[in-house]
Structure 1
């Protein structure tokens, strides 16, 4: 029997996106630990009396049950796990950024339990109110997502030649070339030492925490990952970034 035809219960999950399905129901895009990104219909979720109404919020840890054998399965129950508050301000926008990346880069019904754990850890950082950890948390999750999706080359060698990195050399991560040496002082780049530290962190048994620490030492990583993400998402700018720019212009 296919997994989708069974009732699944007590599944760790986060709501990534929700939109109207009817006057009273919602379609949810959900990231679950053991079943990956899935689509669920929450029948009656918009009714004032619905138990779903106060629970189906983004960036909140849930336990859900669902069933059915169609592409869009039926949500049976959802329970808020608790333990953290909703991020606000810049942290909330950062959370929407993570959700958009998952929606664009992960296919449905493809389990990524390690990435789910990293996402949950990133959301905890966003909800903690530690402003100085916001950017490192974003870079850490972006790196882990790119690796999990198969879009991140090894960071301990030049991609095209497999030549070893020199600690003091400067290398850029580019969409079509991977990790390449550069002598251009105006080009965003990291030293070989920084790239090697990031690769070591990615290989750590607790990769999110390790990459978070390594990314905090590498602010030049941001523009390089932005270009790589735009390339693989097939866009010139992500919607959440456009929203940030519009809010800054007000």
Structure 2
């Protein structure tokens, strides 16, 4: 049977590493086929058409084929639309890529998550720095929900009891959403958690969740960080450690 060929597929490069003196292995996030591994033959040669295109955080359309675990890149076209993020935004983009590499299985499509990622990258590439942290938190929430690791945020997880709008609740790895304890580092009110759930259920979830996160970034960030580290199986993500190291220079 002929190997399947995919053409004109929206994609982003998540990571790239050397495969030979002239070729690269790419981890690519595609809209209709999920995360796939591709070999880009000859991509390191100065004359390669792939060389200036296969960059992270840039919207591409790719063509690839083969039936092995690592398929062959046949073509790539830069779709334009924004410039490469810089500074903190660039590191934040690498952070999003690391989350996808750690939490998504290969060949598992998530078109809605792909669209949220594309919107997040657009925010990172813009000059609206005030939107950076809300965009990261919105993407984290959407990622966790998409892969089944986020409980509903308008009820207590263990009891399914309703949230008191004025009471404090926190999101913990093994207990979901529960009433906050005195020694919890961070929490949000029941009204704030319900607003986040309503935003996630919106017809335009990334934009709605970004707006909701902007109101609660300080309290939400440490809770999501703990949850993500737990599911990634690490104490600190590599990109976060890089950010901390740069801040200490």
Q: TM-score, normalised by structure 1?
A: 0.98
1:83 is displaced (CA, Å) by: 0.8
**DSSP 3-state at the match of 2:225:** helix
How many matched pairs? 248
Q: Quote the residue 1:122 is aligned against.
A: 120
CA offsets 1:41-69 (integer angstroms, 9 cap, x no match): 00000000000000000000000000001
Please say if 1:226 is aligned against 2:225. Answer: yes
Q: 2: distance between equivalents of 1:168 and 1:246?
A: 38
1:159 is displaced (CA, Å) by: 0.3
Q: 2: distance between equivalents of 1:198 and 1:90?
A: 25
CA offsets 1:128-157 (integer angstroms, 9 cap, x no match): 021000000000000000001110000010
**DSSP 3-state at the match of 2:194:** helix
CA offsets 1:81-108 (integer angstroms, 9 cap, x no match): 0010000000000000000000000000
1:185 is displaced (CA, Å) by: 6.8
Please say if 1:153 is aligned against 2:131. Answer: no
Is the contact between residue 87 and residue 129 of structure 1 (CA under 8 Å) also seen in structure 2? no
From 55, 58, 72, the equivalent of 2:56 is 58
Q: 2: distance between equivalents of 1:172 and 1:18?
A: 37
**DSSP 3-state at the match of 1:15:** strand
Q: 1: distance between equivalents of 2:122 and 2:90?
A: 12
Q: Quote the residue 2:98 is aligned against.
A: 100
**DSSP 3-state at the match of 1:30:** strand
Is the contact between residue 42 and residue 75 of structure 1 (CA under 8 Å) also seen in structure 2? yes
Q: 2: distance between equivalents of 1:106 and 1:148?
A: 10
**DSSP 3-state at the match of 2:73:** strand
Q: 2: distance between equivalents of 1:249 and 1:139?
A: 23
Flag as ranges the 4+ runs of structure 1 deviating above 2 A: none
Pairing of 1:1-250 with structure 2 (within 5 A)? 5-184=3-182, 187-219=185-217, 220-250=219-249
CA offsets 1:108-136 (integer angstroms, 9 cap, x no match): 00000000000000000000021000000
Structure 2 gaps, min length 5: none
**DSSP 3-state at the match of 2:52:** coil
Q: 1: distance between equivalents of 2:122 and 2:47?
A: 30
RMSD: 1.1
Q: TM-score, normalised by structure 2?
A: 0.98
Q: 2: distance between equivalents of 1:111 and 1:93?
A: 25
